[in-house]
Amino acid sequence: MTAQSSQLSIAPMMAWTDRHFRYLMRLIAPNIRLYTEMVTTGALLHNDPKRYLAFSSQEHPIALQLGGNNPEHLALCARMGEDFGYDEININIGCPSDRVSVGSFGACLMAEPTLVADCVAKMQQSVKIPVTVKTRIGIDDYDDYAFLQTFIKTVQQAPCQTFIIHARKAWLKGLSPKQNREIPLLDYNRVYQLKKDYPHLNIIINGGIKTVEEAHTHLQQVDGAMIGRSAYENPFSWAEDPNLSRKQVLEYYLEYMTKQLEAGEHFWPMAKHLLNLFNGLPGARAWRRTLSTRVQKDNDLQAIKDALMIINNL
């Protein structure tokens, strides 16, 4: 990967992009931008913020993604994020889950661009770091380019300079979040057109990007590319240093785990992110099987080192 790595980012993914996985990805890709899982304003306002916002200093550059629809609450949470040291605050206008829709935030807010603009404006007023928006190209039957344009034109006046566009629309009824990642057709050209019509905006494309080569193809048309599930399913494919080995990454990560265990962290929430580290190599299946059986049962770092012998002996 070239210096263009700074134009790449890893999407916020619930249950996946926690701080342990982000640390692992930082070992693999020092320049790629990292995003937290979506954190709702309710979670931050009614619980200890450290539970959701703590991260390692090595994770920079890192963005906090918030979910909510109340401008004042979002502003308070954005300030919390800035105080914790995040480099960017992102608002989720793309999640199609029923739980999120019932709370009247996520993708359903595409139908209320004025409210989104107000949310962004309040957040911008409360922090000095950038506030960005992640959204879809449409929702339900509101899926033509004019609808997307209205949303972008309204929200940019907040002001908002950066839009991350998942190049699929979201069906808010009838499809699960998983189906919403697969069934609505990708329309990259619509995102490209946004960049042409709004050249002053920072447009980042998201959705279905599986390889470095695909990401760089998109970078010829837009300002950035956000990688989703492919980063979790094959993390080492995004390595920036050709001299870096997976075994080196594992050694560094085990050092991290050791320190975290000493600080009271639980074993498996960290170890599980290693399942896909050797994807694409002989023995990868045996590695995953060993980690998800013996390692998960024993909660022992030595079990991980023993599992590595599977790879070494092939």
Look up the CATH number of the domain holding residue 182: 3.20.20.70
Query: Once rounded to an integer, what is the mean pLDDT over residues 111-131?
Result: 97
Q: Note the pLDDT tens digit of each residue in 217-262.
A: 999 999 999 999 999 999 999 999 999 999 999 999 999 999 999 9
Residues 105 and 85 in one domain: yes
User: Are 209 and 301 found together in one domain?
Assistant: no
Token pair belonging to 274:
């290693």
Q: Are 284 and 275 in contact (CB under 8 A)?
A: no
225, 10 in Cβ contact below 8 A?
A: no
Which pLDDT tens digit goes with each residue over 251-272? 999 999 999 999 999 999 999 9
> Does pLDDT of 203 surpass 90?
yes
Runs of H (alpha helix) within 127-264: 145-155, 177-180, 188-197, 212-218, 229-233, 246-262
Q: Is 236 helix (H, G, I), strand (E, B) or coil?
A: helix
**Which residue, 238, 266, 287, sits at the end of a domain?**
238
- Residues 252 and 194 both lie in one domain: no
Is residue 149 located within the same domain as residue 217?
Answer: yes
d(CA 9, CA 207): 12
Whether residues 178 and 154 share a domain: the answer is yes
pLDDT value at position 2? 42
d(CA 155, CA 24): 34
Are the C-beta atoms of 121 and 158 separated by less than 8 Å?
yes
> Domain check: are 264 and 229 in the same one?
no
Kindly state whether residues 182 and 62 are assigned to the same domain: yes
Average pLDDT, integer, range 148-158: 97
User: In angstroms, rounded to a whole number, what is the distance separating the alpha carbons of residues 239 and 212?
Assistant: 10
Q: How confident is the model at residue 130 (pLDDT cuts 50, 70, 90)?
A: very high
| Closest residue by Cα to residue 91 from 77, 111, 101, 102 | 77
User: Which domain CATH number covers 263?
Assistant: 1.20.120.1460
Angle, helices 145-155/113-126, rounded to nearest 10 degrees: 30
pLDDT at 257: 95
For 180-198, how does the pLDDT look when each residue is reduced to its tens digit (9 = 90+)? 888 889 999 999 999 999 9
pLDDT digits (tens, 9 = 90+) for 10-64: 999 999 999 999 999 999 999 999 999 999 999 999 999 999 999 999 999 999 9
Active site residue 77: no
Q: CB–CB of 187/147 below 8 Å?
A: no
pLDDT at 173 over 50: yes
Residue among 77, 95, 108, 119 flagged as catalytic: 95
Q: Are residues 138 and 66 in the same domain?
A: yes
Range of the domain at 283: 246-312
| Together in a domain, 140 and 274 | no
Of 238, 272, 301, the position where a domain reaches its end is 238
Residues 16 and 150 grouped into a single domain: yes
Count structural domains, the chain. Answer: 2
Last residue within a domain, chosen from 178, 213, 238: 238
State the pLDDT at residue 307: 83
